[in-house]
Structure 1
Amino acid sequence: MSIQATLERPVTVSAAVHRRSSFPRSLSGKVALVAGGAGAIGAATSRMLASAGAIVVVTHLATERDTAAAKALIADLGEGHGAYVADVVDTASLIELRSEIQSRYGRLDILINAAGFTKPVPHADLDALTDELIDRMLQVNWRGQFATIRTFAPMLKASGDGLVVSISSIAAFTGIGSSIAYCAAKAGVDVMTKSLARSLAPEIRVLAVSPGVVDTEFVPGRGLDFNDKVKASTPLQRIGEAEDIAAAITACATMLTFSTGHIIQVDGGRAL
């Protein structure tokens, strides 16, 4: 082939280069389920995913407070998004939700495990960490996340570009958290993330986001004095906000598209 002929050939950009130049990826046409969407991190994540183009479905408990929060969130997001009652410890409710999403939207591309529970128990007070509390902690924070992934894995696989992001905590590896059981549950989330990343690939990517202290009402009884103490001992000199965690979760969907099985710390350097 002559040099002239070579020069006259149309120049094409490889698919790999095209993928790199398209970041951040638009989520237009994607459907995202945020389990625990009535909470601070879940709500912030829902707003960011919607801003990136996703249709967002949130779950909430049937309490008056959670119902009101979920309705307000969906009203703020606008038409097309939805809120449903479901409990991660009740697999039957998750299966019913799966049928609702399949019927209404016909697909699911992203699952965010933001549902959680904790109760502060001093680590040295072994008697205060009762069997019932241990069971509840593991039931919501580990079994519930696994059950949600198990329920929606078929839809995520059908997407061909599925993503799971679970909320973990730096308590999983520091051993410092609201209770020993909470630390253990989050360590379980980290292990689950790695195991499922291998077993669900390549159709589904599985990641976890690991916050430090976040300025929400998630941990009962924590006040401004606690926040100030943590701020002073954190390299970036502030505590996290729900939007910090939401941004990391959204990045998993829009930027970190060649990552799976990893735990992403968002803690301002607190674990250093």
Structure 2
Amino acid sequence: MTEELAGKTALVTGAARGIGAAVAKSLANAGGRLILCDQRHTTETLNSIKELGGDVRQQIADVSSEVSVASLFKSISETEGSLDFVINAAGILSESKITEIPTAEFDRVLSVNLRGSFLIARGAAQIMKPAKSGRIIFVSSELAYLGRANFSAYCASKAGVVGLTRALARELAPDITVNSVAPGPIDTPMLGLENMSQEWIDKEIDIPLERIGKPSEIAAIIRFLCGPDAGFFTGQTLSPNGGAVMI
């Protein structure tokens, strides 16, 4: 472990697995105090950080629920007092043709991915603004830029996160920075490589670097955005995607 983020407190949503879990472990390894948040218990991530000797606790919350998120930040305000970093990695995926997707399914994806980002950012800002300090980081997706057939809800929600990033970066400046990361294909349970046909895997790696990314590679970028060298970043969406999108 290092002392890069010693004395700093970070909330990571979606921390039970995938990118969220990797981010939490990386920030803990940098000396940060972690609050893990997910709809399910984050036992595996929690235990991994404890084994490192990290300072960690967990909260159960649904990022799409206004009541649940308000309760989460009330608890953080009462127990922590301050909050330095908030990383919203909670998200869901949906694949349906536009002619077949139920409205409820479309709404659910936007509720978790976009409304959830808004609710988490609002709760974070209410703690960070009085302190005149803080960093908010969202997880978007390459599909915010690329689009993909049969993923209309997911693409729309992640494009919305990019817009939210820019709007909040202007609104919360100069004391609070807001950035996002838009990964390409990453080896997580959401991508579900173990259930993919070889044909589909070949499509995913049909990018310049010809491979799937690792959660640790995304975590390293988010760790950078939390670190002392990222103070001049705000309103940006960093795109670690193996060259799938070049902007």
* Identical residues among aligned pairs (%): 35
Q: TM-score, normalising length from structure 1?
A: 0.83
Q: Deviations over 1:63-121 (max 9, x none)?
A: xxx32xx1121122125311111001111111211122222222111000100011222
Query: Does the 8 Å CA contact 2:17/2:45 hold for their aligned counterparts?
Result: no
Question: Secondary structure at the residue paired with 1:128?
Answer: coil
Separation of aligned partners in 2, 1:227 and 1:83: 34
Query: Does the 8 Å CA contact 2:12/2:89 hold for their aligned counterparts?
Result: yes
Q: Structure 1 unaligned segments of length 5 or more: list them.
A: 1-23
Question: Secondary structure at the residue paired with 2:10?
Answer: strand
Deviation, 1:220, is 5.5
Question: Secondary structure at the residue paired with 2:190?
Answer: coil
Q: Does 1:74 align with 2:49?
A: no
Superposed CA RMSD in Å reads: 1.9
Query: Does the 8 Å CA contact 2:93/2:154 hold for their aligned counterparts?
Result: yes
Separation of aligned partners in 2, 1:217 and 1:103: 34
**Which residue is 2:164 aligned to?**
192
Query: Does the 8 Å CA contact 1:119/1:220 hold for their aligned counterparts?
Result: no
Q: TM-score, normalising length from structure 2?
A: 0.91
Query: Does the 8 Å CA contact 1:120/1:220 hold for their aligned counterparts?
Result: no
Q: How does 1:1-272 map to 2 (within 5 A)?
A: 26-61=4-39, 66-67=40-41, 70-78=42-50, 80-121=55-96, 125-176=97-148, 179-219=151-191, 223=196, 225=198, 226-231=200-205, 233-254=206-227, 255-272=229-246
Query: Does the 8 Å CA contact 1:34/1:111 hold for their aligned counterparts?
Result: yes
Deviation, 1:177, is 6.5
Q: Structure 2 unaligned segments of length 5 or more: list them.
A: none
Question: Secondary structure at the residue paired with 1:92?
Answer: helix
Separation of aligned partners in 1, 2:209 and 2:85: 31
Deviation, 1:224, is 5.4
Q: Deviations over 1:113-132 (max 9, x none)?
A: 100011222xxx32222211
Deviation, 1:199, is 0.2
Compared CA separation, residues 27 and 178, structure 1 to 2 (3 A): farther
Separation of aligned partners in 2, 1:126 and 1:97: 35
Compared CA separation, residues 72 and 178, structure 1 to 2 (3 A): farther
Q: Deviations over 1:185-231 (max 9, x none)?
A: 11110011000000001121000000011111214685152233322
Query: Does the 8 Å CA contact 1:109/1:159 hold for their aligned counterparts?
Result: no
Compared CA separation, residues 171 and 177, structure 1 to 2 (3 A): farther
Separation of aligned partners in 1, 2:31 and 2:201: 34
How many residue pairs were aligned? 239
